[in-house]
Structure formats: structure tokens, C-alpha cells
Amino acid sequence: MSAPAGADGRRSALNVLGTALVPCSYDPLTGWYRDGCCHTDAQDAGSHVICARVSVEFLNFQMERGNDLITARPEHRFRGLKPGDRWCVCALRWREAYEAGCAPPVVLESTHQRALDYVLMEWLRKCAVTPAQQG
């Protein structure tokens, strides 16, 4: 059962572990809402719900497919990513990278439960970082 909607229309979200969704990153500021969390709504066509610690391989893989996550775009409050940054990535982009063998590590506590509409929990667990590695 979900909690009542907040003032901005979002509901209290759960992560893929079934507990409260925790922030993914404030620096860089991530999320569909740019609130640090992988919250989503019906307007989030890309489903930016997987909290990933991006890698060189992932960034290059995305660039090769026309998804430039490296170049800064200030008009979108986006400074560009570098390896090690945590970012709410599109579920299908992460899945594509997983299937190609270059999925970045994920933070399960910060990955929205909606990710399970697109990827298997087994895949997320295989790529999960431990709390000590999350930094």
C-alpha cells in the first residue's frame, strides 16, 4: 500500500528491496525531479529508476548509442558525468548495457522498485555494490 501523495504529487517510494527509497546522489544532483532520488512518474518516459555508479565502459557504451551522458548541459541542470558518479539511469539503457556485458554497478537501496518492470532482480543483485563500495 502506498502513502498519500505529497505536495509535489510523488508518493512515498519503495526501492527494489521493498524498503524506503534512499537518495542516489546530490553531487551530481540526479533524478527525474533533480531531487537526488530515483523517483519517477508518468511523464518520465525513460524511467530513470536505476541508481548506477557509472563506469567508463557504460558512459562510452551510451555515447556510442547517441546517449551522451558526458557533455555538460547547463540548460538541463546537467554538468556531465564522470566515472564513479552515481546517477539515476534509464532502466532500458541499463538493461541494454547489461545484455552487452557493460552494465555499471547499482545501489539497490536507491533503485526504485519500478526498475523491476524492466530488469530482473537477479541482474541487479549481480551488479550491486556493497555499502562499503557505494562511496
pLDDT, position 6 = 44
- CATH of segment(s) 15-130: 3.30.56.110
Burial class (CB in 10 A: 0-12, 13-18, 19+), 7: exposed
The 8-class DSSP code of residue 85 comes to: -
Task: Give the per-residue pLDDT at 43.
Answer: 93
Report domain extents, the chain. Answer: 15-130
DSSP-assigned letter for residue 14 = B
User: What is the model's pTM?
Assistant: 0.88
Structure confidence at residue 77 (pLDDT): 76
Q: What is the mean pLDDT of each run of 10 residues along the chain (135 residues)?
A: 40 90 93 93 94 97 95 88 96 97 97 97 94 58
pLDDT at position 8: 44
- pLDDT value at residue 7: 40
Alpha-carbon dihedral angle through residues 40, 64, 53, 90, given to the nearest 10 degrees: 10
Q: Please give the pLDDT value at position 135.
A: 57
pLDDT for 72 equals 93
